[in-house]
Every structure is written in structure tokens, then in C-alpha cells.
């Protein structure tokens, strides 16, 4: 499980291995190409990637979970804040829809009014519970 | 080595059970996490006598789900520790005046965050400057 960059790593991990019984991606970014054109810090991402995506699709695709999606079998929970401009909501949506289409167990939890991480105390309490319940479901089997 | 007597053994068992039950009482849950108040935004008076700080706690009654921050002031020698601001709106970012007699802070009590000044030893807060553009916070 992970949030933000940890969410990115979570999305990447489930394309690389089936060793985990379950995973949880919070505010993750599985698609670095669409991330560049939707995040509020595109310059940061482009600098990090070493150039624009149209000059180097290979690097962007190599590091984006969505381009290795065929391998995913791990039940993966997707959590995102609806008002996240850092890692836009659509990043979570892309992964969730792909999981659903591929028939991999998933659920998407969307927090309204929420930026790049829960702020309201009730949501902060809820998110811990949701993650714990998700893992319990698969670790008990 | 001294031989363990029955009362000693019973005492050890009783202690072990107490520790165990305390451990269960202290188990981490999202609810217990919320009970921990957050401390931040500290400021020390120019003479080093006082410390102003911000205590943030969750408000979750009914439909509410927000954090409320209030400023506290404590004497550095530990002789007092008092809540300095009150109300349903947050007060943050305390800063002492150069003479140490007033405390400035940002309050959400009006529509937009504004800077207020209050005498360190009591009084009503005075509105000090015009509204701060939200984008600059």
C-alpha cells in the first residue's frame, strides 16, 4: 500500500509481481503521460523524466503501470480525493476502470472536497479503516 | 538464587496480566489517533518568558468534520499554561510584538483570514490589517 509516490509504486508493483495478496493505491499515478498534461506540477514531472513525453514515449511507458497492465492480477483498492490537482482524480480512475475491465477485484473510494490527501478528520478516520478492511478481506483467506 | 515463593509468582502473573490488559486498552485505532491533539506554530517572547503555541483538535460533532486550532500561552518556567484564543473559528500563527506586550495572530473569525493583535495579558483582539488574499497563504 502507498499514497502519492507510494501509490505510484503500488500501481507499478502489481504489474511486476503476483506475490502480494492485495494492494491499496492512494492518490497514485499509473499513467505518466496523462499525468504530465493534467497535474499542477507538470514541469517537475517532465524534469524528473528527463524530457517531454513526445520526445521519449519509451521512458514514460516503461515507468507507467498502465502500459504493463496485462500482468495485473492482484486485488487492488483505489482511493482518491476528488479535488486532487497534484495527482488528478483521473489517475485513480484510469487504474480503477482498467482493473474492473480486466476482472481484477477492486473498489474505488472517492473523498469529496479532498485534495492530495484527506484533510477532514472523519475522512482521515475512514481511510485507515477502509485500508485495514481491504487487506483483512484478502489476508484472512 | 532465592527460590520463588508462591506470592511472588502470583505477583508476577498479576503484573503480567495488568500489562497485557493495558496493552489491549491502548491498542491503536483510528479513533484513538484522533484523540491526539497536534501542537504547532510555536513562538517565544523576546524576553524568553512566554511561549505561544497552537493546539489543533478535530471537531466531529454531527455533520462537522474539521480541525479547530486555538492559541495557548505558557510561561517558560511552567507557572501557567492558558488558552489564549477561543471560539468556533481557528486562530493560528502567533507572533510576539518586539516589546513582548502583544501577540499577533491570524484568525478565521471574519470571512477571510485576517491579522489580529491582542494584549498578552488580556483584552479584546484588535483587527490590525486588511484581509490577506487567500492565495498568499
**Rg of the Cα atoms in chain A:** 15
If contacts are CB pairs under 8 Å, which of residues 107-126 in chain A contact chain B?
Answer: 119-126
The whole-number pLDDT of residue A140 equals 85
A29-51 pLDDT, tens digit per residue, is 999 999 999 999 999 999 999 99
ipTM, two decimals, is 0.71
B38–A contact, CB cutoff 8 A: no
| Tens-digit pLDDT profile for residues B32-88 | 888 889 998 899 999 999 999 999 999 999 999 999 999 999 999 999 999 999 999
Inter-chain CB proximity A120 and B31 less than 8 Å: no
pLDDT for position B34: 84
Q: Is B18 contained in some domain?
A: no
Q: Report yes or no on B120 lying in a domain.
A: yes
pLDDT band per the 50, 70, 90 thresholds, residue B99: very high
Domain hosting B93: range is 35-136
Query: A125 and B30: CB-CB below 8 Å?
Result: yes
Q: For chain B, how many structural domains are there in total?
A: 1
Q: Do A121 and B59 touch (CB under 8 A)?
A: yes
If one compares B71 and B108, the residue with the highest pLDDT of the two is B71
HSE, side-chain direction, 13 A CA sphere, residue A1 = 15
Query: Which residues of chain A lie closer than 8 angstroms to B33, CB-CB?
Result: 124-125, 128
Per-residue pLDDT, averaged over B18-40, amounts to 76
Question: Is A8 or B135 the better-scoring residue by pLDDT?
Answer: A8
Q: How close is the nearest chain A Cα to the Cα of B73, in Å?
A: 25
Instruction: Quote the pLDDT of residue B1.
Output: 45
**Does 3.40.50.1820 match the CATH number of domain A2-139?**
yes
Cell of A141: 483467506
Nearest to A120 among B30, B33, B66 (CB): B66
Interface contact A129, partner B, CB < 8 A: yes
Asked if residue B90 is part of any domain, the answer here is yes
Q: Reply yes or no on whether the pLDDT at B102 is more than 60.
A: yes
Domain ranges of chain A: 2-139
Is-contact A18 A64, C-beta < 8 A? no
Average model confidence (pLDDT) across chain B: 82
Across the range A86-113, mean pLDDT stands at 98
Q: What per-residue confidence (pLDDT) applies to B137?
A: 47
Over its C-alpha atoms, chain B yields an Rg (Å, rounded) of 23
Residue B62, C-beta contacts closer than 8 angstroms, at least 6 positions apart: none
Indicate whether A66 pLDDT > 90: yes
In-domain check, residue B16: no
pLDDT of amino acid A37: 97
Tell me how far CA of residue B21 lies from CA of A95, B13, B33, in angstroms: 43, 12, 19
Q: What is the CATH number of the domain that holds B85?
A: 2.120.10.30
Is residue B133 over pLDDT 60?
no
Q: Check CB contact of B129 with chain A, cutoff 8 Å.
A: no
Confirm or reject contact between B30 and chain A (CB < 8 A): yes
Residues of A in contact with B59 (CB under 8 A): 121
CB contact under 8 A, B60 and A122: yes
pLDDT digits (tens, 9 = 90+) for A100-113: 999 999 999 999 99
* Residue B136 confidence (pLDDT) above 90: no
Q: Does the structure show a pLDDT above 80 at A141?
A: no
The closest of A141, A139, A140 to A1, measured between CA atoms, is A139
Distance from CA of A136 to the nearest CA of B (A): 15
User: Closest Cα of chain A to B31: distance in Å?
Assistant: 7
**Does A58 have pLDDT greater than 50?**
yes
CA distance B63 to chain A (A): 10
pLDDT higher for A141 or A18? A18
Please indicate if any CB of chain B lies within 8 Å of the CB of A141.
no
Pairs of CB atoms within 8 A across A/B: 24
Amino acid at each position: 500500500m502507498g499514497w502519492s509516490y507510494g501509490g505510484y509504486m503500488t500501481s507499478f508493483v502489481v504489474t511486476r509481481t503476483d506475490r502480494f495478496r492485495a494492494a491499496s493505491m492512494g492518490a497514485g499515478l499509473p499513467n505518466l503521460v496523462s499525468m504530465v498534461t493534467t497535474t499542477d506540477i507538470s514541469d517537475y514531472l517532465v524534469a524528473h523524466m528527463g524530457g517531454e513525453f513526445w520526445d521519449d514515449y519509451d521512458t514514460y511507458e516503461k515507468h507507467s503501470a498502465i502500459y504493463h497492465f496485462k500482468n495485473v492480477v492482484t486485488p487492488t483498492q483505489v482511493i482518491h480525493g476528488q479535488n486532487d490537482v497534484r495527482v488528478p482524480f483521473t489517475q485513480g480512475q484510469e487504474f480503477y476502470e482498467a482493473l474492473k475491465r480486466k476482472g481484477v477485484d477492486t473498489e474505488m473510494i472517492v473523498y469529496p472536497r479532498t485534495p492530495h490527501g484527506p484533510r477532514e478528520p472523519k475522512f482521515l478516520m475512514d481511510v485507515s479503516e477502509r485500508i485495514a478492511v481491504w487487506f483483512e478481506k484478502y489476508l484472512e483467506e | 538464587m532465592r527460590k520463588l515463593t508462591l506470592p511472588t509468582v502470583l505477583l508476577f502473573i498479576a503484573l503480567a496480566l495488568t500489562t497485557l490488559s493495558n496493552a489491549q486498552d491502548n491498542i491503536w485505532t483510528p479513533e484513538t489517533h484522533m484523540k491526539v491533539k497536534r501542537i504547532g506554530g510555536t513562538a517565544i517572547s523576546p524576553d524568553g518568558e512566554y511561549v505561544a503555541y497552537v493546539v489543533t483538535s478535530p471537531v466531529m460533532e454531527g455533520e462537522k468534520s474539521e480541525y479547530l486550532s486555538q492559541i495557548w500561552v505558557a510561561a517558560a518556567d511552567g507557572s501557567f499554561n492558558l488558552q489564549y484564543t477561543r471560539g468556533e473559528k481557528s486562530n493560528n500563527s502567533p507572533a510576539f510584538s518586539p516589546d513582548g506586550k502583544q501577540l499577533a495572530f491570524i484568525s478565521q473569525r471574519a470571512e477571510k483570514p485576517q491579522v489580529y493583535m491582542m494584549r498578552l495579558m488580556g483584552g479584546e483582539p484588535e483587527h490590525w490589517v486588511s484581509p490577506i488574499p487567500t492565495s498568499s497563504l
